Each structure stands twice: as C-alpha cells, then as structure tokens.
Amino acid sequence: MTTLPRLTDSHCHLDFPDFADELPEVIARAAAAGVHRMVTICTRLRQADRVRAIAEDHASVYWAAGTHPMSAAEEPLATVAELVALAEHPKFVGIGETGLDYHYTAESAAIQQESLRLHIEAARITQLPLIIHARAADDDMARILTEEFRAGAYPCVMHCFSSSRALAEAALDLGFYLSMSGITAFPKSGELREIFRDVPRDRILVETDSPYLAPPPHRGKRNEPAYVAKTAANAAETFEMDLAEFAELTEANFARLFTKAAA
C-alpha cells in the first residue's frame, strides 16, 4: 500500500454554500488524498461564528478571519481589538484574508487600504500570519506592506499569488511567503511558474482557494481541499522535485509560518 504524502491546504473556504450539503464528505475526501490539515478562511467577520464552528467540529480544520478587500466597502470596518479577540480561539491561526483588489472594486481603494492597515496591526500584535489577497493593485500593495513592516514586523503570506515579479520580490524582501494555487497548474501560467522557480523554497506554501480555481484535470469545476494534491504534484514538477519531497518542504514551511496550527 502506497503512503500518500501529507499536505496542508493553507487556504480554503469551507463555509461557502458550495460545500453546504456535503462538508463531511469533502473533508473525508481531503483526508483520503493525504490532506491532513486545512485552514478555512472567513471573509466577512459577521460570519465568524459559522467558520469557527467548522473548525471546532473537525479536527483537521483550523480557521482565520478578516474582511476581504472586495467586501471592505459593504462590511463594517474591522477593529484591531475585534481581530485580536478572535485570535484567542485555540484554532484561530491567521489574520485575513485582507488586502487590495482593484480589478472589480477600485472605487473602494481608500477603504480597502484602511482595512488592510487595521489587519496588519492585528497581525503585528498577535504575530499570527497576515493573509493577503492582491489583485491589480501591486504598487499600492508593495508600498503599504513595506511601510507597515518598517513600523513593526509581522508574518505574512501572499495567498494564491498570481501577481507580478516585482510584488513577489517586494514580499520576499520582507521575509513573507508566497502560496501556490491551482492557477500555477494552468497551461497558460508559464510566466507565473517562472516567478515561482525563483522563490526561495523555504517560502512556498500550497493551497486550493476552494471552491475556486480548481487545477487540471478539474478546471472549471468546483475546487475542494483534496485537489491541493493535484496542485502540489504540478508544483513539484515546476521545482524538479518528487511529490513527497515537495510535500515535506511545504509542510515545514507551513509549520514555520502558521506556528499556532503546528503547535
């Protein structure tokens, strides 16, 4: 019997309606694929109770919470105290996702930036990793992350990284991590794979961002945590590693960044 490499899906959304009717089965399929741990992300703080409940009900699930940048103008502005209070939960392991997204919601850039800085302060206080969503806002993202880091260090992962080489380098210069999603397995993502080839191997995580961005051969269908094994297999090829070696690498990286989950 072949032993599957152990993997962590460092970013998924198990509270989304896509999983409502079969969450236990989704988690079981993840386990069958070697995914022994996953972090489910709350994107609107008013939904924190239901995300927390998923983590409490399933031993393999941890959680993080923040206000997604695309929702920043629709939701009450998170407070630092509110985020720090959430961090008291034993399975709460990260701050976010937060960030900047000017692709569809550029009109709310100012409130997105204010929200991002509040989340950064919470990450600085708790020393839990900041979970960043970045799209079509590379210059502002690099500027704010750097300004804030100079004001006080904090850990961070650029989740589902698919931005420019310049933003990758800015994040790496600050000691941050970059996470590979199913996008890195798409045939037309050669430029993105080239960026990742130059990322220090001790700064790489892997994720699904499910229910979005399923890797081949599931592209266009609902993604789920089990498919992080597909993304990891493709990533291993990118780095000319075998899957077991890549899995061991990303497990060590996850434990180093998400120290609370590892403990």
Total length of the chain:
263
**Do residues 73 and 105 make contact, with C-beta atoms less than 8 angstroms apart?**
yes
Q: Judge whether 209 is annotated as a binding position.
A: yes
Cα–Cα distance between 256 and 80 in angstroms, integer?
Answer: 24
Q: Judge whether 97 is annotated as a binding position.
A: yes
Task: Judge residue 73's burial from the number of C-beta atoms within 10 Å of its C-beta, 0-12 exposed, 13-18 middle, 19 or more buried.
Answer: middle
Which residues lie below 8 Å from residue 18, measured CB to CB, with a gap of 6+? 210, 211, 222
Q: Judge whether 58 is annotated as a binding position.
A: no
Cα–Cα distance between 192 and 184 in angstroms, integer?
Answer: 6
**The amino acid at 101:** D
Q: Judge whether 207 is annotated as a binding position.
A: no
Q: Judge whether 159 is annotated as a binding position.
A: yes
Q: What burial letters (b/e) apply to 172-195, b meaning 16+ CB within 10 Å?
A: bebebbbbbbbbbbbeebeebbeb
**DSSP for 13-64?**
-TTSGGGTTTHHHHHHHHHHTTEEEEEEEESSGGGHHHHHHHHHH-TTEEEE
Q: Judge whether 147 is annotated as a binding position.
A: no
Known binding-site residues for a divalent metal cation equal: 11, 13, 97, 133, 159, 209
Q: Which residues carry a binding-site annotation?
A: 11, 13, 97, 133, 159, 209
